[in-house]
Amino acid sequence: MKDQKKKRIFYYKDESNDDFMTAHPNVLNVNVDSKYNYMPNFILFKLFSFVFYYLIAIPLLSIANLFLFGVRVRGRKNLKGLWNKGYFIYANHTNYKDAWLTPVSIAPFRRNYVIANKAAVEIPVINYLAKAGGALPVADTMAGLKKMTQTIDNIILKKKQIITIFPEAHIWPYYTKLRAFPLTSFKFPAKTKAPSIPVAVCYKKRAILGEYRKPKTVAYIGKPIFPLDKLTERQNAEYLRDKTFDFIKNTIEKESTYSYIEYVKVEQGKDTTSDLESEKEAI
């Protein structure tokens, strides 16, 4: 077993754009524009999506979480009263497992879609599974953004389902602070008048051999944050962003008690490529 007593250090330059996960080769060149079909309506895809999501993905991921990953959830009582409503989940992005474990852990019996980087639908075979599993790639064009917004409206307002968004966008493994949330991510609940559910993913040192093992993961669910009637759409987006950010930040500061990886900011121009590549392999 590799000695973990010497803490790993990740060097970063830009909190908004640096990404510490190795990207997969994007074999397919997918244009997420006005022609992109977010939710195919033909019967075979709908049937495959239902079977894959409810009968394969959810059971397997639930078992994997129970026996392998062990993500614990606190605060599910805050979701009471929302079982028949569409809503948005906002969480910090600190693990490659976030995109599929967060939805399964938070609301396992509800259909949950995830706003994702388009790389998720550019890998052969995986692209079909990602789409069936609920990946909604970020649009490339203004026309594509319009279609993406219409899809989100349909999911929230008509289907009464859930959408998970990671405002930080890029993955910083086991990071125990919070990066800035762009306003754009909160225009969707401001427009649909749907509640936002803040989720803080926190890390704690394990009781047994904590120095040698990856930390324990605990997700804390906050109370629903509803848009206010007296505010404009932009004001509501700002209100939702600030309230969501505050809950996640405050919860992380209180409950994330173990830093598995240390993050150090370096000056622009310093080459940290070799450091990044060597550390990615250990995540």
Strand-pairing partners, residue 137, are 116
Run of H or E residues at 62: helix 58-64
Low-confidence residues of the chain: pLDDT under 50: 1-4, 273-283
**79: buried, middle or exposed (CB in 10 Å: 19+, 13-18, 0-12)?**
buried
Distance CA 104, CA 260 (A): 24
Sign of CA dihedral 163, 31, 147, 18: positive
Please say whether the beta carbons of 224 and 196 come within 8 A. yes
Residue 146 is predicted with a pLDDT of 94
Cα 209 from chain centroid?
29
Structure-token match 């077993």, residue found? 1
Within 13 Å of residue 57, how many CA atoms lie on the same side as its CB? 25
Predicted pLDDT of residue 226: 97
Yes or no: say if 73 and 91 are a contact pair by the CB < 8 Å rule. Answer: no
Q: What is the pTM of this model?
A: 0.89
Among 243, 196, 221, 195, smallest CA distance to 102 is for 221
Question: Token pair of 171, please?
Answer: 């993955």
At CA 146, angle to CA 141 and CA 151, rounded to 5?
120
How is residue 120 annotated by DSSP?
G
5 within 8 A of 213, measured Cβ to Cβ: no
Strands, E assignment, the chain: 8-12, 72-74, 87-91, 112-116, 135-137, 162-165, 196-204, 216-221, 261-265
b/e per residue 83-94 (b: at least 16 CB within 10 A): eeebbbbbbbbb
Contact 181, 198 (CB under 8 A): no
pLDDT of res. 108: 82
Structural domains in the chain, sorted by start: 8-280 (3.40.1130)
